[in-house]
């Protein structure tokens, strides 16, 4: 098992996390993934990367600098994204009841390992 894969396992062990992946920030391509079977990893990487790019542009236009963490809360769950080293994104999808604080702490730790 690769180091990236091991790092992702730490995230998927959190109750309520349905999948975690490392994706390229520019291309939106999967680098490593640990997601449930019903989750389309390719689509998740592409859309999360696109969303992250757009928010980065919006934040830059507003003079806010580069976003450090993205938390999108939907009715059925949450999408969490953070930068993970040069050109990479760490993406997590979770159920509505996930402990976001814990997920966020673990994501910061994993992002540091990857970097």
The residue (of 27 and 95) whose beta carbon lies closer to another protein is 27
CA distances from 96 to 4, 17, 77, 79, 115 (A): 26, 9, 4, 10, 29
* Main-chain phi, psi angles of 77, to 5 degrees: 175, -165
The residue (of 93 and 98) whose beta carbon lies closer to another protein is 93
The residue (of 10 and 47) whose beta carbon lies closer to another protein is 47
Six-digit token string for 63: 């003079």
Where do contacts with another protein occur on this chain (CB under 8 A)? Answer: 23-24, 26-29, 42-43, 45-47, 49-50, 53
Helical spans, DSSP H, in the chain: 3-12, 41-61, 100-114
CB of 82 to another protein, least distance (A): 18
CB of 26 to another protein, least distance (A): 6
CB of 70 to another protein, least distance (A): 16
What is the spatial distance between Cα 92 and Cα 20, in angstroms, rounded to a whole number?
Answer: 4
CB of 9 to another protein, least distance (A): 23
């Amino acid at each position: 098992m690769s180091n990236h894969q091991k790092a992702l396992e730490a995230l998927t062990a959190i109750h309520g996390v349905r999948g975690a992946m490392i994706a390229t920030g520019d291309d939106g391509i999967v680098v490593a993934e640990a997601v449930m079977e019903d989750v389309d990893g390719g689509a998740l990487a592409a859309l999360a990367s696109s969303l992250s790019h757009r928010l980065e542009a919006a934040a830059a236009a507003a003079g806010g600098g580069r976003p450090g963490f993205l938390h999108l809360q939907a009715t059925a769950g949450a999408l969490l994204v953070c930068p993970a080293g040069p050109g990479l994104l760490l993406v997590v999808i979770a159920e509505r009841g996930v402990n976001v604080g814990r997920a966020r702490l673990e994501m910061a730790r994993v992002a540091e390992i990857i970097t």
